Structure 1
Amino acid sequence: MAEPLPALMLPAASWLRLSPHRRWLDMQGQRLLDFSKPSRVAQGFAALDDDGALPPPATADSTLSARMTHVYAVASGRGLPGCGPLAAHGVACLLGPLRDHEHDGWFLTPPTDGSRPADARKQAYLHAFVALAASSATVAGVPEGRALLDAALRVWEEHFWSEQEGVFRESFAADWSDEENYRGANANMHSVEACMAVADVTGNPVWRQRALRVVERFIHTLAREADYFLPEHYDRNWTQLPDYHRNTPTDALRPYGMTPGHFVEWSHLLLKLEAALLRTQGNAPSWLLDDAVALFHRGMETGWARDGAPGLVYTIDWNHQPVVHNRPHWCQAEAMTAAAALLKRTGHAQYEQWYRTIWNYIDLYMIDRKRGGWIQELDQHNRPSAVVYAGKADLYHAWQATITPLLPLAPSFATAVSLLEN
């Protein structure tokens, strides 16, 4: 099995060593999978409400469909019934109704009556998840998974990757004109995840090197220069945009200010990239670990319990004060994931404590044992809220939180599962 060293470094009393804890993680993951299955619609997957039902009219969402396809593909590799057909449905829809068959690429929602959707821009964020889904489907042997991967990489490489900048471009019009005057950390962060998965599946190390270049730009340059407070919004000339979305601070993808949940998510990805480079080429920049540690601590210092109640807040301003106090579930999931990764990488007891603290919070506040799934968002008093995220649409972050502690840091999810289960 890959990456034996971190397993040896775990403290003897770590939850990660305990079979009951590992069974609990597996059980929680399967509960999430079962809750999510009604999200299937004719053209992909749609968002569920708080009770796990499809509110009318239920329209396929391409980003959600790609995320679901990724999760179901990895779950099918674990031998979990029902997941393989759902992954195949996702692949078929990404190759069919969700795809732009005129100019290639993917729309955020399917065309209606032969007309482009109202928002027909091609988004880097979505395309990163299409590539991730396709890579996972390929590993799992999902029909047409490789065809989807080939199509996704062709678009990703031709239109989104900027060799000169070492990052992914943000968005274009449907015909690939009108490039957006924006460079964003969020889409590039998820592109790092997808790049590592694609490198594992294709065997092409160029994708791993691209992930490293993105990390060098956003983290080892921009975040490090800001003492590991990560500004996320820039124009195409790399001028920071400090007032971006000041009037829409609860934007779901590009909120005003900074996002501590992203600090810790980057931390986890840096450790995965370090492990991937060590596993495949025997060396990795030493700063990947240093930056990962610094980002985690910055995220927890500025985001956790900043208003007296537990939980990681959504955003902070340039004075490092909370802007949106609500606690999205994905922020907690990524904080836990980063703590687990740092624990496996370093063996330090502080990360065991954070791992337990965050899971205790998720268990007591976010796991919905009455209606199912996870509550997607809590307010500053840890009551259910829907200011940023309504319903229970997102399987991706929560489910990955239940499986990440069970896997090594490298290779990526689908490949690691294929090695672990065989």
Structure 2
Amino acid sequence: MIYMSVWPTSQVHHRWLDQHSRDLLAFGRRTADPGGGARWLDARGLPVPGRPASALISSRMTHVYGIGALLGVPGAGPVAAQSMAGLTGRLRDTVHGGWFSAVTDDGTPEPGKSCYDHAFVILAASTATQAGLPGAAELLADACALFLERFWDDRTGMCVDTWDTSFTTLDEYRGINANMHTVEAMLSVASVTGDQAWTERALRICRFVVTTASAHHWRIPEHYDSAWTPILEFNADKPDHPFKPYGATIGHGLEWSRLLLHAAASPLGGNEEWLTTAAAELFDRAVTDGWAVDGNPGFVYTTDWSGRPVVRDRMHWVAAEGINAAAALHALTGRQVYADRYREWWDYSAEFLIDHEHGSWFHQLDAANVPTDTVWPGKADLYHAFQTTLGPRVPLWPMLATAVDQHLA
């Protein structure tokens, strides 16, 4: 079916998005941990007992509720501050530097330090700085300095992935997932601080990804060795890994599509054709390989290198990234096809992913669009769904927190 109304730019639709963003914030309001940080939420929005405090969830919820504070939602600021307290408190390694991935209630940290987590700490700190949370600017400065020292490899223009806890031994694995979220974080720092050196670094990562994806028919190799040689069969025995699945990840093609458009809209991007062309190519490949390819609506999680589905479950974040990518491409081109996809995927999300009884979005559906929890139990955080309510309402530059502050606050 072809729709002629243009939802991404409709003010009536934007009012619905605004209400949905506030509904999501209401669902997650119990996330703040009295001990500092944010807690993993179950299907009804209640904290999961016994689950360790997590740098990832604490960072994502600091980001989400920091934006909520910018939107003027009462109570959002205290949730953001308490979530950030985990990053300035027990999740911070005061001996070796950086942040633990998780810490149990008795203070035992999870071993290792990951680029993925540290990218989200930077994102959280940049949003908290934009929102004016006390201590956020200091957290941002410390996180950026640590990141440049430990994770940014200026020689390759890419980020390394995982260290041991003491930053003594660096793992040989290199990954695109961590670099993808680093691009988001770097562009966010540039938006908040005006320091375009962060944009320069982000553009170097983007160049690598575009070059590599174009050589693989716009399917993005996710896993590499220390020389940045793709390992195409990595985790073939763990195809549904939540962070490092085998094969091409459909949602990452969509997420990279959007990030390339943010980079193109930046002061250093100049809407360069290599960025905007690659964004469209990645979007088209993800849609061709991933959307409703097995007879049911929804995006499959992963495919092999010929485009054949491997994991057919539907992850909520993939649909969310598809919606935002379609909105971004429509903003750039004005083409109706992107508006049609945008509406189609919101209709799908409303039918299958949004939990109209208990709130938020189901994080995982099976191939028949029935909720399941083999990879993502409960409703851990609001990051992807919440951003989907904001992307269509702000320009591609600056990045989200700054754009909300300038255009929606």
Q: TM-score range by the shorter chain?
A: over 0.9
1:392 aligns with 2:352: no
Shift of 1:114: 5.1
Residue 355 (structure 2) aligned to one of 368, 382, 385? 368
1:165 aligns with 2:156: yes
Residue 248 (structure 2) aligned to one of 258, 264, 269? 258
1:83 aligns with 2:76: yes
Give the TM-score taking structure 1 as reference length. 0.94
Quote the Cα distance in structure 2 between the aligned partners of 1:16 and 1:22. Answer: 8
Tell me, what secondary structure is at the counterpart of 1:323? strand
Quote the Cα distance in structure 1 between the aligned partners of 2:372 and 2:404. Answer: 34
1:20 aligns with 2:7: no
Quote the Cα distance in structure 2 between the aligned partners of 1:114 and 1:358. Answer: 42
Q: Is the 8 A contact 2:263 2:269 kept in 1?
A: no
| Structure 1: stretches of 5+ with no match in the other structure | 1-10
Shift of 1:45: 1.0
Match of 1:4 in 2: none
Counterpart residue type for residue 273 of structure 2: S
Quote the Cα distance in structure 2 between the aligned partners of 1:203 and 1:68. Answer: 24
Match of 1:236 in 2: 226
Residues 114 and 303 (structure 1 numbering): CA distance in 2 closer, same or farther, change over 3 Å? Answer: closer
Tell me, what secondary structure is at the counterpart of 1:355? helix
Match of 2:118 in 1: 127
Quote the Cα distance in structure 2 between the aligned partners of 1:371 and 1:22. Answer: 23
Q: Is the 8 A contact 1:99 1:110 kept in 2?
A: no
Give the TM-score taking structure 2 as reference length. 0.96
1:346 aligns with 2:333: yes
Shift of 1:55: 2.7
Counterpart residue type for residue 307 of structure 1: D
Match of 1:97 in 2: 90
Quote the Cα distance in structure 1 between the aligned partners of 2:253 and 2:50. Answer: 36
Quote the Cα distance in structure 1 between the aligned partners of 2:72 and 2:10. Answer: 23
Shift of 1:387: 1.9
Match of 2:144 in 1: 153
1:331 aligns with 2:318: yes
Quote the Cα distance in structure 2 between the aligned partners of 1:284 and 1:391. Answer: 39
Quote the Cα distance in structure 1 between the aligned partners of 2:269 and 2:364. Answer: 41
Total equivalences in the alignment: 406
Shift of 1:144: 0.4
Shift of 1:88: 1.1
Shift of 1:408: 0.7
Quote the Cα distance in structure 1 between the aligned partners of 2:133 and 2:152. Answer: 27
Matches within 5 A, 1:215-364: 215-219=206-210, 221-276=211-266, 280-281=267-268, 283-364=270-351
Query: Deviating runs (4+, > 3 A) in structure 1?
Result: 111-115
Residue 56 (structure 1) aligned to one of 32, 39, 49? 49
Matches within 5 A, 1:33-44: 33-41=25-33, 42-44=35-37
Tell me, what secondary structure is at the counterpart of 1:411? coil
Tell me, what secondary structure is at the counterpart of 1:392? coil
Match of 1:6 in 2: none
User: Percent identity over the alignment?
Assistant: 43
Task: Give me the CA root mean square deviation.
Answer: 1.4
Quote the Cα distance in structure 1 between the aligned partners of 2:55 and 2:332. Answer: 35
Residue 22 (structure 2) aligned to one of 1, 22, 30? 30
Residues 249 and 294 (structure 1 numbering): CA distance in 2 closer, same or farther, change over 3 Å? Answer: same
Shift of 1:317: 1.0
Quote the Cα distance in structure 1 between the aligned partners of 2:256 and 2:81. Answer: 30
Q: Is the 8 A contact 1:97 1:111 kept in 2?
A: no
Residues 176 and 137 (structure 1 numbering): CA distance in 2 closer, same or farther, change over 3 Å? Answer: same
Shift of 1:410: 0.6
Q: Is the 8 A contact 1:92 1:144 kept in 2?
A: no
Quote the Cα distance in structure 2 between the aligned partners of 1:282 and 1:102. Answer: 39
Match of 2:185 in 1: 194
Tell me, what secondary structure is at the counterpart of 1:55? coil
Match of 2:131 in 1: 140
Residue 368 (structure 2) aligned to one of 373, 381, 385? 381
